Amino acid sequence: MDINDLRRMLKAAAGKMETTAQAIEDLEAAGNAEASAIEAAQAEFDAAEAEFKGLQTRVQRAEAVEQAKAETATSELNTGGSNPGAGTGAPAPAQAKAAGQEGIEVGFMAHALINAKGDRDKAVERLEQDGHSAISAALSGASESAGGVTLPRPQGQAVIELLRPKVTVRASGARVHDMPAGELRNARQATPSSAAYAGENAAIVESEPTFDKVEEKFRKLTSLVPIGNSLLRHTSASIALMVRDDIIKEMGLKNDLAFLRFDGTGNLPKGLRQWAPVANWATIAVKDAATVEAAIRAIVSKVEDADVGLINPGWIMRASAKNFLASLRWANGFKVFPSIDDNGTLHGAPIRTTSQVPDNLGVGGDETEIYFADFSEIMIGDSQQITLASSTEASYVNQAGDTVSAYQNDLTLMRAIAEHDMAPAHDAAIAGLNGAGWTL
């Protein structure tokens, strides 16, 4: 039983405590309940509380074990990797992990799992033979299932953290929170209460805010990466980094597209474009300086007029759209948006670019999208785990539509799975437009 199972059980036990506590209150409020009924309800509550405390202890213990394994694996890599002091009687001096090597433990684990054809025990043995005893100790605690091997949580978090700069919504400051039970429901205030002036002794007009909910549940992101077996026959830090980077690249591109444009149907996340209120999105068919400047200003106004605090505002667009805006000039030759070239901002908010925003939308096939949001209002629920599996016999369909045999081409297919979802606390925090011809 892994730590997420324990957390789900802990959540269920807390719900049972809430239900039994409410039952006691209802009996006491009735005033005519028999003492035996109240005693029975209290016994149920005590049992639920004992179950909760027991599970809480188990969760804390499991978290401590994971943290210890993560620190052990990291400390090994910080001292030079494959135990360079072995056989000399002197340990290697401690060194800071080199920049760019964050998450390299995952690369070593994935490499070992691939060479062991997904067999965790053999992968652990391989790491031991290569001198990575601390990493093998961490991998030995990984859970196995039909979907592959789920890496220990600290190592999964390392990869997810490396996804941040690759995924513009994450990089823009969206709030990432743990979602260990696979589902999260947040209450939000849909309409506020009101206040009014009144005469002396006049009745105060009643006002009630209304509430609704924001739900997130795991959406499974899968990535299939073909790797040449000639490379996998070698064990080194550079190969581990290559494996790590392949995972991050493929997952990052798809995650970026999902959080921007997917429609939320089936097993897909719902991206910013679909969360944006209809009134907050426009289509601009011309591209003269005055029209473009007014349209950009109107996007910001839509969010500000909704009383969104703009704590962490930001823009997302294609690089060619950013360059189009930077190149716009007034009739006198001055730049319309000089801050883009000066410091990479637009109306004081940073711009992040991605090729995942298309430039062939609309009837004319020349429209692109520009997003603006207060990213402090955007919530990403994440399992903080990565599951790996591999095959040397399977086939895959490449981007050209051709079927490629891994066996015939001496490849190994590596599949990585992550689970997450995204939702805004308030969708009025998102606005944008489709601009026709707004690219260079």
Looking at residue 283, which CATH number applies to its domain? 3.30.2320.10
**Is residue 437 over pLDDT 90?**
yes
The answer to whether the CB of 419 falls within 8 A of the CB of 183 is: no
| Band of residue 207 on the pLDDT scale cut at 50, 70, 90 | low
CA-to-CA distance for 241 and 366, rounded, in angstroms? 38
**Is residue 93 over pLDDT 60?**
no
| Band of residue 359 on the pLDDT scale cut at 50, 70, 90 | very high
Task: Point out the domain boundary residue: 58, 79, 100.
Answer: 79
> Assign residue 390 a region: left if phi > 0, alpha if psi is -120 to 50, beta otherwise?
beta
The 10s digit of each residue's pLDDT in 8-30 is 788 888 889 989 999 888 888 88
The 10s digit of each residue's pLDDT in 142-197 is 878 767 888 777 777 877 888 888 899 999 999 988 776 556 665 555 555 566 67
**Is residue 69 over pLDDT 70?**
no
pLDDT of 189: 52
Top pLDDT among 79 and 226 is at: 226
In-domain check, residue 363: yes
In-domain check, residue 27: yes
pLDDT of 277: 95
The stretches of 141-263 forming alpha helices (DSSP H) are: 153-163, 168-171, 229-232, 237-261
Task: Point out the domain boundary residue: 20, 44, 79.
Answer: 79
CA-to-CA distance for 124 and 58, rounded, in angstroms? 25
Q: Percentage of the chain surpassing pLDDT 70?
A: 83
CA-to-CA distance for 88 and 322, rounded, in angstroms? 57
Residue bearing tokens 């011809």: 437
| Band of residue 212 on the pLDDT scale cut at 50, 70, 90 | low
In-domain check, residue 115: no
Q: Is 21 exposed, middle or buried (0-12, 13-18, 19+ CB in 10 A)?
A: middle
Task: For residue 280, give its domain range.
Answer: 272-381+425-436
CA-to-CA distance for 234 and 236, rounded, in angstroms? 6
pTM for the complete prediction? 0.69
In-domain check, residue 127: no
Q: Tell me the mean pLDDT in the region 48-55.
A: 91
In-domain check, residue 395: no
Task: Point out the domain boundary residue: 57, 79, 101.
Answer: 79
In-domain check, residue 364: yes
The answer to whether the CB of 17 falls within 8 A of the CB of 55 is: no
Please state the domain count of the chain.
Answer: 2
pLDDT of 87: 40
